[in-house]
Amino acid sequence: MKFIAITGGVISGLGKGTITSSLSHLLVNSGLRTTAVKIDPYLNYDAGTMNPYQHGEVFVMDDGSEVDLDLGNYERFMNLDLSGMNNITTGKIYKYVIEKERKGEYLGSTVQIIPHVTNEIKGWLRKVAGEWNADITLIEVGGTVGDIESMPFLEALRQMRRDGDTVLFGHVTLVPEIGSSMEQKTKPTQHSVNTLRSIGIQPEIIFARLKGKLSSESRKKISLFTDVPEDGIIGVSDVQNPYFLPDIMKRQGVLDYIFEKLQFRGYRYSDVWKTFRENLLNPRESVRIAIVGKYIELSDAYISHREAFTHVTGKHGIGVEMVWINSDDLKKSTSVLNTVDGILVPGGFGYRGVEGKIEAIRFARENSVPFLGICLGFQTAVIEFARNVLGLRGANSTEFDPETPSPVIDLLPEQKGIDQMGGTMRLGALPVSIKQDTIAEGIYGTREISERHRHRYEVNPNFIEKLESHGMRFSGTDSEGIRMEILELSDRENFIATQYHSEFKSRPLNPSKVHEYLVLKAFEHGRRNK
């Protein structure tokens, strides 16, 4: 089996995920069967209960796994649907080791990090490679070399090479540029590689992160002190958009270097993103879309929405300026919404910020501003309509107000009484049936779709008839017709909301259909109001 392991040094946040994703894109589009694994050294079992402020978006896979946001990048760059097996955490590994110990599978041995934990890690990585029948498996190791949490994973990778697996190590380091002359300093890279060597790993590729272009002098110095050939030192400068990085890396010869090291013959890269990149670089038009959320201080909490809009730009050449608005601010005034061409209300959990989201939806509905609601945005659209069109004062979700007189959003009867965290969650890819002669049918061009979900509460069936009699149409449902999935308004074409998260399946050459629809409607709206 052949693997490329990407480690990081000096500081976190250097872009290991984007570099790993870019490599995966280059390999997939060279005809190699490729998969990728993200190793997160934290003790959490998965990302499902983690605070978006600390960790960014929780990304959901087809199989319902809640994983690190880097898995979203892998899927977008490779144009593949991965699974929970592609995300390893310390929590997962320790859980399986303890379960085996309790079953007596270690035959009374003292269970230790080496060999039991490292064997579990090695077995997991080989299983993923085998299930994908992968020519090459990329492995991103979270954190930085020297972190105590990542040591078992690095040791497992060291052992894999010793066991006979082909493991190529790439190391991401920082090359700071100091002073008015922006002198490039290589000492951090030298020290980081020395730390990696001290645990028995010699990298074959250095990805040098810096603002500008890596100088030939710096390249030679890094090569001299790290024993990495100059051809294996790739400068990774700051880019306008991550989708430009694969091309930058390829022009430095990274593919040829990897093909030679791993003895791949006869493969040639096909640049499927050429037009896509040109549209990103020079969009012919632009729109302003308000993102009305509660985690806007950390835009990574909405990274899949940002990427979905980028995909629309790459397809249509319409740039999207995202205007980040804290939903709580809209409780005082919605005047800032007068400056935008469209409004997106994304998902979230908890009551904080909900009333501001409702005000944003009311503004969109009353002023015919193009609107898209996702998950909680779908539910708050129902609440807003119930309050301000049906006149149901106090209408709410029982998640936010258990005593509401009009629980238009509620748990279904079969969900009630389940207390376990996540026990009532609908997670992963599920079928959605679209009704005939609806806006949704026009958007998707089909009556049956599959989209990823992450929610608990539903539209209360007791209110559906009344909502529809006043102009809200539920144009998409689950396959049984019980759960409402898509809503639109009968008197306009620029208002739609979905219970599912279409942003999770958006791809550079196949954008989320509803995000695409919002941008096109926002473009029309903007032109009319100029």
User: In the structure encoding, which two tokens stand for residue 56, read together?
Assistant: 């960014």
Interatomic CA distance for residues 322 and 9, integer angstroms: 32
Whether the CB-CB separation of 9 and 145 falls below 8 Å is answered with yes
Whether the CB-CB separation of 431 and 479 falls below 8 Å is answered with yes
Residue 333, C-beta contacts closer than 8 angstroms, at least 6 positions apart: none
Q: Which strand ranges, in their side-by-side order, compose the sheet holding 458-459?
A: 396-397, 407-410, 458-459
Active site residue 468: no
Burial (CB count within 10 angstroms: exposed 0-12, middle 13-18, buried 19+), residue 91:
middle
Burial (CB count within 10 angstroms: exposed 0-12, middle 13-18, buried 19+), residue 503:
buried
CA atoms within 13 A on the CB side of 228: 30
* Locus of tokens 């632009």: 286
Could you tell me the end-to-end alpha-carbon distance of the chain, in angstroms, rounded to an integer? Answer: 59
Active site residue 503: yes
Whether the CB-CB separation of 186 and 206 falls below 8 Å is answered with no
Which residue type sits at 28? Answer: V
Residue 391, C-beta contacts closer than 8 angstroms, at least 6 positions apart: none
Cα distances (angstroms) measured from residue 84 to each of 41, 63, 65, 140: 15, 7, 5, 15
Of residues 501, 515, 516, 525, which has the active-site annotation? 501
Instruction: For the beta carbon of residue 197, count every other beta carbon within 10 angstroms.
Output: 14
Interatomic CA distance for residues 95 and 75, integer angstroms: 26
Whether the CB-CB separation of 43 and 94 falls below 8 Å is answered with yes
Of residues 375, 451, 455, 485, which has the active-site annotation? 375
- Please name the helix (run of DSSP H) or strand (run of DSSP E) that holds residue 93, with its range, or none: helix 90-102
Nearest Cα to Cα of residue 71 among 17, 23, 122: 17
Residue 254, C-beta contacts closer than 8 angstroms, at least 6 positions apart: 23, 26, 205, 234
Interatomic CA distance for residues 39 and 501, integer angstroms: 24
Of residues 451, 485, 503, 516, which has the active-site annotation? 503
DSSP 213: P
Q: DSSP for 367-427, please give it.
A: TT--EEEETHHHHHHHHHHHHHTS--TT-EETTT-TT-SSEEEE--GGGTT--STTTT-EE
Phi first, then psi: give them for residue 64, nearest 5 degrees: 90, 0
User: In the structure encoding, which two tokens stand for residue 169, read together?
Assistant: 């190590």
Active site residue 57: no
Beta bridge partners of 358: none
Beta bridge partners of 207: 172, 234
The residues annotated with a catalytic role in the active site are 375, 501, 503
